Amino acid sequence: MSTSIMTLPSCIPIPIEENQLKEVIEKTKDWAVMHGIGIRSRTNFSEDSIDFAPFLLLPSTFPRREFEKAVEIQTTLNELMHRVAHNQEFLKETLQGTIQVDEFTGNLYKIWETVMEEGVNQRLSLGLVRSDYMLHGISNKIKQVEYNTISVSMSGIGNGISLCNRFVMEELGHFDLLHNLPENNALTGMTMGLLEAWKIYGDPKAAIMVIVEDVTYNICDQRFHEFELRRLNPRVKIMRRTLTQIYQEGCLTDDNELVVNGVIVSVIYYRSAYTPEQIPTKKEWDARLMIERSQAIKCPSIQFHLAGTKKVQQALAKPGVLEMFLSEPKKIAAVREIFTGLYGLDFDEAGDQAIQMALDDPDRFVLKPQREGGGNNVYGMEIRDAILAMKDTKERTAWILMERIRPPITTGYMVRPGGKNPPDLAEMVSELGIFGVIIGDSQKIMVNRQVGHMLRTKVATADEGGVAAGYGALDSPYLIDI
């Protein structure tokens, strides 16, 4: 259970009178479905229907100063992670223990080694990224949860939820407060990144290929990008394939262009391939390698994927490491300020100390493996059990220990498909995500932008809050001056 220290005020007085509340929720559920704030049902899956995605009726309050700080620092983080991805020595050294015990990361690493030995056919990498934060402690400063480099979600519907929360504020007559809802252009910003990579490749007939899961629940978020691309440039071909299909339909030409079903692919956009289940057999690994060998611009390239691991995040927090990648002291200080305590569990003195700290006070930490997508971390007393079970094995080097962030509590109405109307007021905590786009190679950065935001909110007692993973709800920030 999270023991949060502070509460933040709500954006308007609550509770809302019951009849008014019911009516506005009914209307907003329809607004949500009709504007694609949707997700496919896991329990009652059908290709023919979409549920609205869980959302917060009212935007949750967030300190303006910290929001602006997160927005401001995004391009520095993009630059940092781009440089990390292109520093072979650093990645190699940082991941050497992890890849021996974590098979998935190990296999990704092998692909990276293979293409480097063979000679890289595409030097450019496209990053559509998101840096996640929670507010921490009495001073409510943002602390980074993680920097996501693959299959970054919610810029599609996250954009829509900002409009949905605005709609509710208007319905309730709070026109004078609308200026506290920051504008959000995440969808266009992220899609522009795909389009720019496609233009750089320079073949008007080539396609953008989205790598998808066998079954996609978070379909609206993904389709929004496809449809936005159509709006921005109606002529660009965009296709969706699983890795299994790429294995069956794909090949490389003599000069390493990727051809799938007869179409040249210039940009690969992963919305899958970040968990072991998504690359289940040798066929999918072969497809993953073929893509990496190709001339297609990958979002992300394999090294950018590896740079997004938790192990790398932990290594960046060590003294003196940021200085290897950033030169301006102001930028270094700003990045250091958003880091929370991060500890490796290697077989060295620091690793042993971290193990002891976790055993002494497990509630202070979150224990994380090298996984993405939610639901993998260990919390509370289970940390102790997990550590005791692995502390004398190599397994421990594949995990990191992170100081637990203690976000302030907000009170709000979470609206869920199948939930009762009106829902009870509940205590919540939020996680802010800032989106970024970066394109470049080891020598130069051609595009580096901050492009928008999203807020995810979960009940205060839940450890994790992924929306697509089923734990949290979509939200948007209501900026306050505190």
Interface size with ligand ADP, residues (CB under 6 A) = 18
Q: Is position 428 an interface residue for ligand ADP (rule: CB under 6 A)?
A: no
Closer CB to ligand ADP, 115 or 468, in the complex: 468
Q: Is position 70 an interface residue for ligand ADP (rule: CB under 6 A)?
A: no
What single letter denotes the amino acid at residue 43? T
Closer CB to ligand ADP, 121 or 340, in the complex: 340
373 given a catalytic annotation:
yes
Active-site residue identified among 29, 40, 130, 223: 130
Residue 299, exposed/middle/buried by CB under 10 A (0-12, 13-18, 19+)? buried
- Select the residue whose beta carbon is closest to ligand ADP and give its number: 405
Which residues within the stretch 319-348 sit at the binding site for ligand ADP (CB under 6 A)?
A: 340
146 given a catalytic annotation:
yes
Q: What are phi and psi of 432, to 5 degrees?
A: -95, 135
Question: How far, in Å, CA of 447 to CA of 190, rounded?
Answer: 12
Question: How far, in Å, CA of 252 to CA of 260, rounded?
Answer: 9
Report in angstroms how near the CB of residue 465 gets to ligand ADP at its nearest.
5
396 given a catalytic annotation:
no
Active-site residue identified among 29, 298, 396, 456: 456
- List the one residue from 115, 129, 145, 400 that touches ligand ADP (CB under 6 A): 145
Question: How far, in Å, CA of 465 to CA of 471, rounded?
Answer: 4
Interface pattern 404-423 for ligand ADP (x via CB under 6 A): xx------------------
Closer CB to ligand ADP, 197 or 468, in the complex: 468
Which residues within the stretch 345-384 sit at the binding site for ligand ADP (CB under 6 A)?
A: 366, 368, 371-374, 376-377
Q: Is position 23 an interface residue for ligand ADP (rule: CB under 6 A)?
A: no
3-state secondary structure of 225: helix
Q: Name residue, tokens 């896991």.
A: 42
Buried/exposed 99-131: b ≥16 CB within 10 Å, e otherwise: bebbebbebbbebbeebeeeebbbebbbbbbbb
Closest CA to 35 of 229, 227, 230: 227
Question: How far, in Å, CA of 344 to CA of 315, rounded?
Answer: 8
18 given a catalytic annotation:
no
Instruction: Indicate the pairing of strand 477-480 with strand 60-63.
Output: parallel
284 given a catalytic annotation:
no
Question: How far, in Å, CA of 314 to CA of 343, rounded?
Answer: 6
Report in angstroms how near the CB of residue 362 gets to ligand ADP at its nearest.
13
CB atoms closer than 10 angstroms to residue 223: 18
Active-site residue identified among 4, 125, 151, 153: 153
Interface pattern 435-474 for ligand ADP (x via CB under 6 A): -----------------------------xx---------
Active-site residue identified among 66, 146, 196, 431: 146
Active-site residue identified among 106, 341, 373, 419: 373
- List the one residue from 402, 414, 437, 467 that touches ligand ADP (CB under 6 A): 402
DSSP for 311-351, please give it: HHHHHHTSTTTHHHH---HHHHHHHHHH---EEE--SSHHH
Q: Under 8 Å CB-to-CB from 244, ≥6 apart: which residues?
A: 214, 283, 284, 287
Report in angstroms how near the CB of residue 404 gets to ligand ADP at its nearest.
4
Question: How far, in Å, CA of 312 to CA of 147, rounded?
Answer: 10
Closest CA to 339 of 316, 323, 368: 316
Interface pattern 284-323 for ligand ADP (x via CB under 6 A): ----------------------------------------
368 given a catalytic annotation:
yes
Closer CB to ligand ADP, 187 or 383, in the complex: 383
Instruction: Indicate the pairing of strand 263-270 with strand 258-260.
Output: antiparallel
Active-site residue identified among 23, 171, 249, 372: 372
Closer CB to ligand ADP, 116 or 359, in the complex: 359
Contacts with ligand ADP, residue ranges (CB under 6 A) = 132, 145-146, 340, 366, 368, 371-374, 376-377, 402, 404-405, 431, 464-465
> Which residues belong to the active site?
130, 146, 148, 153, 310, 368, 372-373, 456
